[in-house]
Amino acid sequence: MTNKLQIIECVPNFSEGVDTAVIKQIAAEIRSVKGVMLLNVDPGKATNRTVMTFAGSPEAVVDAAFLAIRKAGELIDMSRQKGEHPRMGSTDVCPLIPVSNISMQEVVVYADELAKRVGGLGIPVYLYEHSQPDKKRNNLSVIRAGEYEGFFDKIKQPGWAPDYGPAEFDAKRGATVIGARDFLIAYNVNLNTRSVPAASAIAAEVRESGRMLRTKDGSAKIVHGSLKYVKAIGWYIEEYGHAQVSMNLTNIIETPIHIVFEEICKKAQQRGLKVTGSELIGLIPLDAMLNAGRYFSTRQNGNTGLSETELIAVAVRAMGLDELVPFDAGKRIMEYVLSANMPL
C-alpha cells in the first residue's frame, strides 16, 4: 500500500432536477462527511436529473455516497418521477472512479462495499463496469433497459436478480446501479432543430452499438456506429429549445471529445442540419481540453504555441461549450477543481 493520499471520485445521478430543496438536502449529506469535497452539482430540469461530483479518501467517499443514496430514497418518489433521461431509481447510477494513488481493483472493492450497504437498505443493487464479472450485464444501458416502469417484471426474469438487496422492485426508490469505472465524459451536442427523430438518427449512426437495419431479404442486421467508446441517444430539451445528441464518452483517449464533436457536425450536415454548440455535464480532464484546443487551433490557423489558458479558450469557442451557459474552467476542469479544494 502506498503512503500517498488515495483519492477516488464519485458521480451519482439522482432522479430529481427540479426541486431545489431536495437537491440541497442530498448535497448536504455529502458535505457532512469529513474527508470529502463536493466539487459540482449539475441539475437538469428537462431530464429531471442531477449529477453530483465529489471526491476524497475512499472510505469517506463510500460513506458520503451511502448517505446521499439513503437520503435520495427518502425524498424522491419514483412512482411520480418523469423526465427525458432514462432512469430506474431515485439514485439511478453511482460510479466510483480512481483519481490518485489507487488502482481500479482497489476501487472495485470499495464499490462492492457500497453496494452491499445500499442493498442493506432494501434497495435492489446491480453492479456494473469493472465491478460486474458477468459481461452480459456490466453495461449500464443494458441493465437500465426497460427503465423504472419495466423493472417490476424485469427483476423477476432469469438472470436479472440484483447483486445485492431484495429481488423485488421498490416502487418508491426503484433500483440502483453501482460500480467502479473509468473516467467518463457526459457530453451533449446541440442541433438547430427540435426534431427528436433527427437527433436519434444521428445518435444511432455514431454510437458504437449502432442500429438495427433490415437487409434486402428481410433479415435484421446490426450496423455499428462510427465512434468507438461512445453511447448516444437523441432527445429534445424544452428549456433550451434544441434537440441534442446526448452521449457518454467512455474512453476519451481512444475517442477524444473533439473527434466526437466533429463527427456529429458531419452527420448533422448530411441531414441539412447544423450543430450550434455543446455542453458538458459534470467535469472534464484538463488533457482532454488541451488536446481539443491543439486540434482546433492547428486546423484553424496552424498556431501550436498557445498557452494553457489560450488552448482552453480555443476548445470552448470551437465546440460552443458556452452556448447554453458560460464555461467556467475553474468549475469544469477536474484538475482545477481538485487542486483548488484538495491536496493530490
What are the pLDDT digits (tens) for 177-224? 999 998 889 999 999 999 999 999 999 999 999 988 877 777 888 889
Over residues 248-275, mean pLDDT: 96
What is the set of domains in the chain, with CATH numbers? 7-180 (3.30.990.10), 185-341 (3.30.70.670)
Selected residue with higher pLDDT from 220 and 233: 233
Q: Is the pLDDT of residue 11 over 80?
A: yes
Residue 59 CA from chain centroid, whole number: 22
Exactly one of 85, 130, 242, 258 is catalytic; name it: 85
Please, which residues bridge with residue 235 across strands? 244
Alpha helices in the chain (DSSP H): 20-31, 58-75, 104-119, 140-144, 147-154, 196-206, 257-270, 286-301, 308-319, 329-332, 334-341
Q: Cα–Cα–Cα angle for 293, 229, 36, nearest 5°? A: 75
Look at residue 1 in the predicted model and tell me its pLDDT. 39
Over residues 135-154, mean pLDDT: 92
Is 258 considered catalytic here? no
The overall average pLDDT reported for the chain is: 93
| Cβ contact 52:43 at 8 Å | no
DSSP at 78: G
Give the separation between CA 256 and CA 137, rounded to whole angstroms.
Answer: 26
Give the separation between CA 290 and CA 315, rounded to whole angstroms.
Answer: 8
The dihedral region occupied by 339, where left means phi > 0, alpha psi between -120 and 50, and beta the remainder, is alpha
Other beta carbons less than 10 A from residue 308's beta carbon: 12
DSSP at 216: T
pLDDT digits (tens, 9 = 90+) for 14-52: 999 999 999 999 999 999 999 899 998 999 888 899 999
Would you place residue 2 in the very low, low, confident or very high pLDDT band (cuts 50, 70, 90)?
A: very low
Q: Which is it for strands 242-249 and 230-237: parallel, antiparallel or unpaired?
A: antiparallel
Look at residue 3 in the predicted model and tell me its pLDDT. 59
Give the separation between CA 323 and CA 309, rounded to whole angstroms.
Answer: 19
What's the predicted TM-score (pTM) here?
Answer: 0.77
- Residues contacting 270, CB < 8 A, separation 6+: none
Give the separation between CA 23 and CA 178, rounded to whole angstroms.
Answer: 20
| Cβ contact 230:203 at 8 Å | no
- Residues contacting 304, CB < 8 A, separation 6+: 294, 297, 298
Would you place residue 343 in the very low, low, confident or very high pLDDT band (cuts 50, 70, 90)?
A: low
Other beta carbons less than 10 A from residue 335's beta carbon: 15
Would you place residue 91 in the very low, low, confident or very high pLDDT band (cuts 50, 70, 90)?
A: very high
Beta strands in 80-181 (DSSP E): 91-100, 125-127, 176-180
Give the separation between CA 111 and CA 118, rounded to whole angstroms.
Answer: 11
